[in-house]
Amino acid sequence: MRLDKSAFRKQSFQDAASHQQHYAELSADGRNRIFNTLMSAAFGFIGGKWPAMDKTVFQLRKRR
């Protein structure tokens, strides 16, 4: 898998700082939508449901 460098562009520090201001002004619902979109893209389930957590990895033990 290769990074698509055409999807990004160089930007100044001022441009990068304006992105931070933009996200700070969003509502909680807007930030949640963006978070869900980025997470689904990062883990490869775009447009689908979040995958279920694999609970077989964990064990339940009693403390002594």
Q: Please, which pLDDT band fits residue 61 given cuts at 50, 70 and 90?
A: confident
> What is the pTM assigned to this prediction?
0.54
pLDDT tens digit string along 46-58?
Answer: 877 888 888 787 7
Measure the CA–CA gap between 60 and 50, rounded to whole angstroms. 25
Rounded to the nearest integer, the mean pLDDT of the chain is 82
pLDDT in the model for residue 1: 59
| Residue among 16, 7, 10, 15 at smallest CA distance from 41 | 7
